[in-house]
A and B are shown apart, each in its own frame.
Chain A
C-alpha cells in the first residue's frame, strides 16, 4: 500500500512536556484510520502539528498523492496545509457562531475561489458568477452532510450534534483528500452517533476521501476503522486492525483497562 500521508518520528515539546514522542504513522488512500489514546495522550497535538497550528520540534510529515509531487507539510502555514488538501474539525467546536450555517460552509470555499478586492468593488460578471457558485456548492455540501434544513440558521442556534456535523461540512467544502476529525462523536446521543458512522463511511465511499479520526467512543471506532493507532504519553503503543487492537495487552493495560465495556 502506498501511503498518502506519512509521518516519521514526529516529536512535539511544550517546554519540558513531551506531548508527542517520535510518532510514526501512515495512511493509505481511502482508508478510515482511528487514532485513540487516553486523555492527554497527544492526539489533538498530533492534528495541530499536521495542520500547521503547532510547529513540531522534530520529525517529518509528508503527503504523497498519486500523480502529484510529494509534499512536505513541515513549516507550512495552516491555510497552505488546507490548500494542500488536508481539512480538519476541532474537538472544542470552533464554528463561526454568529454566521449562518450556509456562511460557515461558504468560508470553507474561500481557498478554492479567487475573487479579490477589485472584483468585490466592481462586482463584475466573473465575481457574481463565482459568488453564486459558492452559494450553490456550499448548499450542495450541506445536502450531502444532511444539514440542508438548517441552511439559514445561525450556527450558534444549532443543536450540538448538528454543530459537529457542520464542522465536517465546513471542512468538506475545502475539497480535502484527507479529512481529520477530532472527536466527531463527542456529546452525541447513540442515534446521532449511528448517523455519524454512516456519514463517515459515505464520505469515504462516495467522495473518495481518506479519513483519520480521533475518537473516544470505542464502539464507533471499532465499527468504522480499517486500522487503529493507539498512543499513550505521546508514544505509539500499538497499531493494527480493530481485532488486533482489541486483544493487544499493552492497549488493554494503557487504555481499555480503565474502561471495561469498551
Chain B
C-alpha cells in the first residue's frame, strides 16, 4: 500500500511537470491550431538559463531561496523572450500558409534550438543544484513525498488557478477566447490578433520555464535533449485531456503522470516511453477529442 502511495505521489509530481508544459501546447493550439513542436525546447532553454544563473549565484555563495527565486525569474523572462521570438520568426510569416508548412517550420525550429544549445553549451548532462530545500516540518512524511515534490505540485496548482483567472476574467483572456473561437471575427470586432497570439506564446513559455526549473532542480541534471521527450509527453497529455482545453491539459497530465508511474512501478521501466506513445496512439485513434474535449464536426 505504501508503495502504491509512493507511486501515486511520484506520478502526480511527474504529471504536474507535464501539466506546466502541456498548458502551453494547449493554449497555442487553441489559438492558432498549430502544434508548437518547439515548445519543449523553450522549456529546455528555461532550464539551462536557470542552471547558468543558479550556478553563478551558488559560486558567489548566495542562499538557496534567493537563488531559487532569481533563477526562476530569469528563466521565465528568457523563456518568454524565446517564445515570443520563435513565434515572430517561424510562425507569423506562415499564418496564411498551409498547415503543413507551419508544422514543418515548427519542427525545424525545434531541431534548430536543440542544436543551438548543444553547440553553445554542451552535449553532456550538466548537474543542476538542488534549489528547493527540504523543510523540516515535512520530515514525518518524507518517505512518501519530498519537499520539492510538494513544491512542484503546489506550483502547478497555483499556475493553473492564475491562468484560469486570466482567461476567464481579464481583457486579454477574453480576447484570447474570442480569437480561438473565430479569428476573423475577433479581428473584425477590434481584437489585436497578433498581440493576442504573442501573449499566448509568452504565457505558455513562462509556465514551461517554471516547469523546467522545478524539474531540473528535482532531477538534478539536464541536457539539451530534455525538452524533446518532455515536450512529446506533455503533448500526449494535452491530447489526452482534449487539446485546446486548459483543465483538460492538467487532467491529462496528471493521468499520464500516474499511468506512467504505475507502469514503471508495476510492469517494466524499459518500455516507459513506449507506454506513453502507445497511450498517444490509442487516444488519437479512438478518442481524438480527448477526455474533456468536444468532438467538433469541422465546418464545410
Residues of A participating in the B interface, judged by any CB pair closer than 8 Å: 14-15, 44, 48, 53-54, 90
A15 touches B300 (CB 8 A): no
B288-300 CB mask vs A (1 if < 8 Å, else 0) is: 0000001001001
Please encode chain B, from 19 to 58, with 1 for each CB lying within 8 Å of some chain A CB and 0 for all others. Answer: 0000000000000000000000000000000000000000
B residues less than 8 Å from A15 (CB atoms):
294
What is the chain B residue whose CB lies nearest that of A47?
B300
Chain B residues whose C-beta falls within 8 Å of the C-beta of A53 in the assembled complex? 300
Task: Mark B239-276 against chain A: 1 for CB-CB distance below 8 A, else 0.
Answer: 00000000000000000000000000000000000000
A48 to B297, CA, bound (A): 11
Contact B294 A48 (CB under 8 A): no
Q: How far is it, in angstroms, between the C-alpha of A44 and the C-alpha of B299 when the chains are bound?
A: 10
Selected from A14, A44, A90, the residue in CB contact (under 8 A) with B297 is: A14
- Write the nearest CB–CB distance from A195 to chain B, whole angstroms: 27
- 8 pairs of residues in contact across A and B, judged by CB atoms under 8 Å: A14-B297, A15-B294, A44-B300, A48-B300, A53-B300, A54-B297, A54-B300, A90-B300
Contacts of A48 in B (CB 8 A): 300
Question: Count of chain B residues with Cβ under 8 Å from any Cβ of A?
Answer: 3
Chain A residues, CB < 8 A from B297 = 14, 54
Shortest CB distance A186–B (Å): 16
CB distance from B244 to the nearest CB of A (A): 15
Q: How many pairs of A and B residues are in contact by the CB < 8 Å rule? A: 8
Q: How far is the CA of A53 from the CA of B297 in the complex (A)?
A: 9
A52: shortest Cβ distance to chain B, in Å?
Answer: 11
> A44–B297 Cα gap in the complex (Å)?
14
Q: How far is the CA of A15 from the CA of B294 in the complex (A)?
A: 9
Complex CA–CA separation, A54 to B300 (angstroms)? 9
User: What residues of chain A lie closer than 8 Å to B300, measured between beta carbons?
Assistant: 44, 48, 53-54, 90
Q: How far is the CA of A166 from the CA of B189 in the complex (A)?
A: 35
Alpha-carbon distance A53/B300, docked complex (angstroms): 8
Min CB gap B257→A, angstroms: 31
Inter-chain CA distance A178–B297, complex, in Å, is 25
B294 nearest in chain A by CB position: A15
Residue of A nearest to B297 (CB): A54
Instruction: Report the minimal beta-carbon distance from A78 to chain B, rounded to whole angstroms.
Output: 10
Taking A48-B300, A54-B297 as given, write out 6 further A-B residue pairs in contact, using a Cβ cutoff of 8 Å, ordered by the A residue number. A14-B297, A15-B294, A44-B300, A53-B300, A54-B300, A90-B300
CB neighbours (8 Å) of A90 from chain B are 300
The 8 closest A-B pairs by CB, nearest first: A53-B300, A48-B300, A54-B297, A14-B297, A15-B294, A90-B300, A44-B300, A54-B300
